[in-house]
Copies of this chain bind each other. A is one copy, B any other.
């Protein structure tokens, strides 16, 4: 037959046609974040089809995916390889699954899909617009979320690929992060999600004086260490503290009349504004973290190259964009006196966060800074030993807190550069924290393994244990 045959069908039918069966692996991206509707819709269809024990291979899930708990309880989901944030993490912490959840960084997941360690039977890819042949995008449509950046490798490696969209575009879709040669079916649904809920946590610059102090300390350190220079490249993330760091760096660039070469996003309005003002020459980005950025990129502005996760951080790539960062500022739930950082669990042991690009950027950037307060409420954040090691201390260079900074002794070069600045040892920061809070309480955990945390080399760096209530 010459000519084309449209690939449009209904989601449940697409799953059937893709040969869904008990125990199969189904993957998703998380770019609609807490506004995503596609994972829940798909799992509902999976259950209706009577399929059991699937392996969920999402890049991340959020509170909106609370129904995942039901699907675990009724046996629809048998295991999970992917980041879990919030409610589902809390549940799994208390109710371990038969197999531990496997946690990977963005880059490690991409690499493991590529090398077959994580084989996907069916990739389900949320797209805000698609044509009838499966060329698709996240940039335009009713519910745009920014360019699809996490699913290219899933599309290439999965046995079957379903694009799920709520906006059919006349062929050919004018943006195509995923192309038809990889797509089996296009499932049209009423609503892929709510982009206004992409924002997870705050995307406003913090007004908390503690966090503002941390942000100022970050930029003061960068300035003192000679990182703030014409042509710098940075990634700061999108939390309230990070946005403050971004703003303060912008003020400094403006004041000194110099420009950053590029920023890597999660892009928010503040980065877009700095780019428009000319303080940043190029936005090099995969994700959008607010509506403003989504709309901005839909106009195809010059000097805004899109970066998929393979380019960003594939550990087996020939290089990674993260290695071109002069500096990354990252958060954490805890840091210890060996500079190990916990991103995944809270001090009570609950698994509440994924890894994201934390490990990838920490291992890649010339200078890796961890920004956090020395304590939160009655809990010391700088401490003897983190509850879970997500990112090992040997790739962490500086810890920046509200009371001051500590430099990893390994980085004598940085120590030299900031001579004259108030620098504490990490032990001193810990002592200051304990002076406020006392010794930390050990988490009340059992022996059952809830999750395994992989390091970017593919080895398990730490385990998360059951929380006993």
Residues of A within 8 A of B (CB): 2-5, 7, 133-135, 161, 170-176, 179-184, 231, 233, 261-262, 281-282, 284, 299-308, 310-311, 314, 317-321, 323-324, 363-366, 368, 395
Contacts and interface: CB of A to CB of B under 8 A. Distances in A.
Contacts of A314: 181
B180 A320 contact: yes
A133 B284 CA distance: 14
11 contacts: A2-B363, A2-B366, A3-B324, A4-B324, A171-B324, A175-B305, A179-B310, A180-B317, A180-B321, A181-B311, A299-B302
Contacts of A319: 4-5, 7, 133-134, 180-181, 183
Contacts of A180: 311, 317-321
Please name the 3 residue pairs, one residue from A and one from B, whose CB atoms are nearest each other, closest first: A181-B317, A3-B366, A179-B311
Given A3-B366, A133-B319, A318-B161, A233 B171 contact: yes
Contacts of A311: 135, 176, 179-181
Nearest to A179: B311
Copies in the complex: 2
Contacts of A303: 174
A451 to B, nearest CB: 27
A366 to B, nearest CB: 4
Contacts of A184: 318
A254 B318 CA distance: 50
Nearest to A309: B181
Given A174-B305, A262-B171, A318 B2 contact: no
A303 to B, nearest CB: 5
Contacts of A310: 179, 181
A233 B132 CA distance: 14
A3 to B, nearest CB: 4
Q: Looking at A7, A161, A170, A180, which has the most chain B CB atoms within 10 Å of its CB?
A: A180
A113 to B, nearest CB: 14
B302 A182 contact: no
Contacts of A306: 176
A318 B282 contact: no
A43 B207 CA distance: 62
Contacts of A135: 305, 311
Contact of A173 (B305, B317, B318, B364): B305
Given A2-B364, A180-B319, A324-B133, A231 B170 contact: yes
A319 B184 CA distance: 8
Contacts of A368: 2
A225 to B, nearest CB: 14
Nearest to A137: B305
